[in-house]
Each structure stands twice: as structure tokens, then as C-alpha cells.
Amino acid sequence: MGGQPIEQRREGRAAAIWTIPNIISMIRLAGVPLFLWLVIVPEADVLALVVLMVSGFSDWLDGYLARRLDQMSDLGRILDPVADRLYILAAVIGLLWRDIIPWWVAIILPARDAFLWCLVPFLRTRGYSALPVHYLGKAATAALLYAFPLLFLGDGEGTVATLALVFGWAFAVWGIGLYWWAGLLYAWQVRTLMADRSRHAPRVAPDGKP
């Protein structure tokens, strides 16, 4: 009996919507169309990079506040990785529109996310909504979010632009490789879960991102 109120409080926090971390994530999501508009229409790369930097900081901030304020929620676990993927997609669209990256890069990154989305129905048959965090997924996202600003800066003339382009492609190649490696690792985890019918859903980390 004594444990029931605690469990109820945990369930209430998990179902919360209007928490400070969730509001930060919602604002972060609202920056995606702004970022894409800045890149495509006025080609205001500096402002677009500011939006991307603020997004990266808010990504850390919402996870920190969720843990510090004990405001971890199911919605937050969804919003955070969705925002990451939308920023990656928006950056890919912008880079392709500006002819900075080849078409195959614009296809291979969203193809990985589409591949993982196809695995979600299989996860749900085992009672899972998401897989636990893996360091490869975090490393891949970080590498790509370093690569995109550098590639935008490399779309110009001069020494700085040349260096930005070189380092941007270095991060991009590593990021793409890690992105797909992490995706295949998650697919293998799903295969393992499907084969093991006796297992129950794990606890997903509060700031979990595949």
C-alpha cells in the first residue's frame, strides 16, 4: 500500500505534457521551419547557424532540466529524438537545395530513419515504445550536427570556407557511417527482442535518443 502513491506519482509525471523540458522541446521544434526558411529563401546562413546552435543547446538543456526537476515524461522522450531528426532532415533539404551536397547524401540519411520507423510496429508487439540509448546514435547525431554548419560555411570563397568544407565533409562521412551503424545495431536489437518472447519492455533512459 505504501508504494502505491509513489507509483501513481511516477505515472503522473510520465504522462505530464506542460513541463518546462517539454515546452523547451516544443520551442525547439518550432525552430525547424524557421531554420529551413533562413537557409532556402534569404540564404541567411549566419542566422540559420544561430538557430542550429540554439537548438543544440536546448537539446542539452531540456534533458538536464528533466533530470534536475524530475520532470521526465513520455512526451519528452518522443519530442527530443523527433526534433533531432527534423533538424537533420531540414539541414539535408537545405544543403541539397543549395547544391552543397550530392543527391545520394540527401537520400541515405532519411532512408535510415525510414528504416527504423518500419521497425516500430515490431517493437510494439513486444510492448516496447523505444529502445534504450546507444552511444553510437548520440555520436552520429553529434557528428552530423557539427557537419551541417561547417558545410554551410564552406559554401563560399577563401581559406575559412575551404577549411570549413574539408572539416564539414570529414564530420559528415563519419556521421553518416555512425548513423547507419547505429541503425543496424537497433535493428539487431529488435531482432533479438522478437526472438525472445519472454522479455519485458526495458526502462528507456529519460533523454533517450536512438
Q: Where are the domains of the chain?
A: 3-195
For residues 73 and 205, the model is more confident at: 73
The three cell numbers of residue 47 are 542566422
User: Residue 202 above 70 pLDDT?
Assistant: no
The model's pLDDT over 111-146, given as tens digits with 9 standing for 90+, comes to 998 998 888 888 778 777 666 667 888 899 889 989
Give me the phi and psi of 43, to 5 degrees please: 55, 45
User: What predicted TM-score, i.e. pTM, was given to this entire model?
Assistant: 0.79
Cα-Cα end-to-end distance for the chain: 36
The three cell numbers of residue 164 are 570549413
Of 58, 79, 61, 77, nearest in space to 69 by CA:
61
Average pLDDT over residues 188-210: 63
User: Residue 66 above 70 pLDDT?
Assistant: yes
Alpha-carbon distance of 176 to 141, in angstroms, equals: 9
CA of 176: how far to CAs of 111, 144, 162, 183, in Å? Answer: 11, 7, 21, 11
Average pLDDT over residues 89-96: 94
* Domain 3-195 CATH assignment equals 1.10.4190.10: no
